[in-house]
């Protein structure tokens, strides 16, 4: 049985160790997405629709790229350039889009019928993005595999998603509140960029940690950090024998 506190603590450690790369990966995308959103708020319905589609695609691009960042370190590879992570994700973007769209529809139908089925769907299908990226699953395979991995631990996974989602929403709200004195266009653009860059990666890391905790429970998600190297030698150290 996975521990909610262990998953969230591990995700926080992943975020802390990869914060700079995570912020860059997310920030570059959300700068474009938030600009489109700000322009859409001032334009027509069509512009708003385009902004909404860009927001979904951008979110998937960020999630997929950040899954790949963690995957490289988990499998012992050196971090790749940021552009390479985008390239890897673009090749899976169609599958990610289809899986995420069906995920959203399935969860929404569950909530319309009864709240409990919606919550179960939210947890059971939560791993579709890591599965599409790491195991190269198709849409149907990702749903079936996610359901199989989460089954028996649905409650714990649901609590992880609720708690992590709460913290992300609070962080985004605080960032937008701090910028509410700006004109609306700039508040939406700058606020969305900063919120996406800082808060967005945490959810992606939570899902990746969940995947590894369910598939490789005895393995560390990231290798231990290397100890700091000594850059100077104390004058009190003994000289090595000649």
Question: Tokens for 226?
Answer: 């290397």
Q: Region 28-34: what's the mean pLDDT?
A: 92
Q: What pLDDT digit, counting tens, does each position of 76-98 carry?
A: 998 899 999 999 999 999 999 99
State the total domains in the chain: 1
6: left (phi over 0), alpha (psi -120 to 50) or beta: alpha
Q: Return phi, psi of residue 78, to 5°.
A: -70, 150
Q: What pLDDT digit, counting tens, does each position of 162-219 carry?
A: 999 999 999 999 998 999 888 988 998 999 999 999 998 999 999 999 999 999 998 9
* Angle, CA of 223, 229 and 231, to the nearest 5°: 165
Domain contains 15:
yes
Domain contains 161:
yes
Long-range contacts of 228-232 (CB under 8 A, 24+ apart): none
Query: What is the pLDDT at residue 234?
Result: 47
Domain contains 112:
no
Would you state the torsion angle of the CA atoms of residues 220, 69, 201, 117, taken in this order, to the nearest 10 degrees? Answer: -70
Report field, pTM of the whole predicted structure over 0.95: no
Of 8-17, 22-31, 49-58, 77-86, the range with the lowest mean pLDDT is 49-58
Domain contains 160:
yes
Query: What is the pLDDT at residue 43?
Result: 62
Domain contains 28:
yes
pLDDT tier for residue 19 given thresholds of 50, 70 and 90: very high
Domain contains 184:
yes
State which residues form the domain around 35. Answer: 4-91+152-215
């Amino acid at each position: 049985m996975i521990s909610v506190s262990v998953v969230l603590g591990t995700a926080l450690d992943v975020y802390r160790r990869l914060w700079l790369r995570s912020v860059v990966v997310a920030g570059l995308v959300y700068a474009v997405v938030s600009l489109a959103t700000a322009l859409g708020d001032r334009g027509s319905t069509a512009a708003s629709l385009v902004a909404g589609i860009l927001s979904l695609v951008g979110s998937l691009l960020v999630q997929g790229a950040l899954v790949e960042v963690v995957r490289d370190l988990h499998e012992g590879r050196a971090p790749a350039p940021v552009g390479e992570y985008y390239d890897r994700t673009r090749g899976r973007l169609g599958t990610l889009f289809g899986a995420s769209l069906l995920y959203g529809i399935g969860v929404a139908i569950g909530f319309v019928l009864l709240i409990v089925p919606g919550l179960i769907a939210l947890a059971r299908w939560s791993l579709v993005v890591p599965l599409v990226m790491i195991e190269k699953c198709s849409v149907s395979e990702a749903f079936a595999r996610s359901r199989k991995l989460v089954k028996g631990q649905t409650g714990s996974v649901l609590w992880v998603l609720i708690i992590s989602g709460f913290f992300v929403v609070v962080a985004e709200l605080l960032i937008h509140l701090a910028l509410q004195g700006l004109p609306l266009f700039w508040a939406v653009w700058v606020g969305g960029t900063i919120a996406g860059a800082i808060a967005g990666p945490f959810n992606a890391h939570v899902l990746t940690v969940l995947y590894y905790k369910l598939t490789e429970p005895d393995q560390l998600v990231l290798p231990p950090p290397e100890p700091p190297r000594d850059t100077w030698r104390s004058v009190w150290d003994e000289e090595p024998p000649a």
